Amino acid sequence: MIDKLSEAYGRFISALALFGCLLLLAMMLIIVTDVALRNFAVSGGPQGLGWSNEVSEFLLYLITLSVAPWLLRQGQHIRVDILLQAIPKKLAWALEWVGDLLGLACCLVMSTYGAQATWASYSANSLSIKTLVTPEWWSLAPLPVVFILLSIEMIFRMHRLWLAERGPRSDAVSAA
């Protein structure tokens, strides 16, 4: 049962990562268009996209959030495991558990804090006033959602660790 849920969840976060790739494409097109309009003046046309920097910043944030759960599942997040490779396997396995439990706790705290910040911003009708004027909660709302997704992946990750050979993970990138 949990394996089928994990597989379905893996497909979902893969689709989310693909969405992040599409956002990267959109960001690239916006930047190229802005640069082209500023450097190749079109008579009567705009002299660049004044909002491009702001939108690109937001897209970069969304790209990061979109691919984070997938990167965690793939073991492609930043990981320094030199110590785990040098100590006895059972101790390394126990430390993997400590890391996963700390990761889960951090994800849950971040999702709670992110939800509170989003709700406070929404309730106060806070605005982000730059080139574009947008409700501040729009930029805050993805944060608790993604940290819930990361929490779910941490649980699946712990399940895979439980089933694995007692030792450091083999699905992560290693310098060893």
pLDDT tens per residue, range 138-171: 999 999 999 999 999 999 999 999 998 898 887 6
pLDDT tens per residue, range 41-68: 777 778 889 899 999 999 999 999 999 9
State the sign of the Cα–Cα–Cα–Cα dihedral 22, 25, 29, 30: positive
pLDDT for residue 176 is more than 50:
no
- Domain positions in the chain: 2-163
Cβ atoms of 24 and 63 within 8 Å: the answer is yes
Average pLDDT over residues 3-10: 94
pLDDT for residue 110 is more than 70:
yes
Among residues 117, 112, 114, 135, the alpha carbon closest in space to that of 58 is found at 135
State the sign of the Cα–Cα–Cα–Cα dihedral 73, 119, 56, 53: negative
- Note the pLDDT of residue 42: 75
Among residues 9, 172, 151, 13, the alpha carbon closest in space to that of 95 is found at 172
Average pLDDT over residues 8-30: 97
pLDDT for residue 92 is more than 50:
yes
User: What percent of the chain shows pLDDT beyond 90?
Assistant: 76
pLDDT for residue 3 is more than 50:
yes
Average pLDDT over residues 98-121: 97
pLDDT for residue 86 is more than 80:
yes
pLDDT for residue 103 is more than 90:
yes
pLDDT band at 172 (very low <50, low <70, confident <90, very high): low
Average pLDDT over residues 110-139: 96
* CB within 8 Å of 130: residues ≥ 6 apart: 54
In the block, residue with structure tokens 């699946």:
156
